[in-house]
């Protein structure tokens, strides 16, 4: 959380452990620690979570992608041939993590990701756009 408060990679903290933390960033860090102590998930504090080696935006509008969901992606990838076009539906996409992982691994696959939440769909759209995934389309419903 300190790296997030400083807007620096964690390696920066390891390289310069004695580097002073400016007052405004120290206050931001204290605020993050307080929120975490009240039970707010780190992913919501930092606004991101890694899934399938992809860095994804998360917000309280979405569920936080869980590592065990990567097993779902593994199984899906066994059902979709690497070199053949296919279509996959991701229902209740949330952050778009499953759709993004499948689309990344199977670029010839068309993935349609849906969610009933406009807020979640907006987060998924930002993730899909940032990752440059042209083979994912998003639908509300």
Sign of CA dihedral 107, 87, 71, 47: positive
pLDDT tens string 74-99:
999 999 988 889 999 999 999 999 99
Q: What is the CATH number of the domain that holds 73?
A: 3.40.50.150
Has residue 66 been placed in a domain? yes
Has residue 96 been placed in a domain? yes
- What's the total number of domains in the chain? 1
Regarding pTM above 0.95, the answer is no
Question: What value does the CA radius of gyration of the chain take, rounded to a whole number of Å?
Answer: 18
Has residue 50 been placed in a domain? no
Domain boundaries, position 123: 61-140
Q: What is the total residue count of the chain? A: 141
The values of phi and psi at residue 122, to 5°, are: -65, -40
Has residue 111 been placed in a domain? yes
Three-state SS at 136: strand
pLDDT tens string 123-133:
999 999 999 99
Has residue 14 been placed in a domain? no
Has residue 1 been placed in a domain? no
Three-state SS at 29: helix
Q: From CA 123, how far away is CA 93, in angstroms rounded? A: 10
């Amino acid at each position: 959380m300190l790296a997030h408060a400083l807007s620096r990679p964690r390696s920066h903290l390891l390289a310069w452990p004695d580097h002073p933390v400016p007052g405004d960033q120290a206050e931001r860090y204290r605020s993050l620690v307080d929120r975490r102590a009240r039970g707010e998930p780190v992913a919501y504090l930092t606004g991101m979570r890694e899934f399938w080696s992809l860095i994804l935006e998360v917000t309280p509008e979405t569920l936080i992608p869980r590592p065990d969901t990567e097993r779902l992606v593994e199984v899906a990838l066994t059902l979709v041939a690497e070199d053949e076009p296919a279509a996959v539906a991701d229902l209740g996409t949330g952050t778009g993590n499953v759709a993004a992982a499948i689309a990344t691994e199977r670029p010839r696959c068309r993935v349609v990701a849906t969610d009933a939440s406009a807020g979640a769909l907006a987060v998924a759209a930002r993730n899909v756009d940032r990752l440059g995934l042209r083979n994912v389309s998003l639908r509300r419903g």
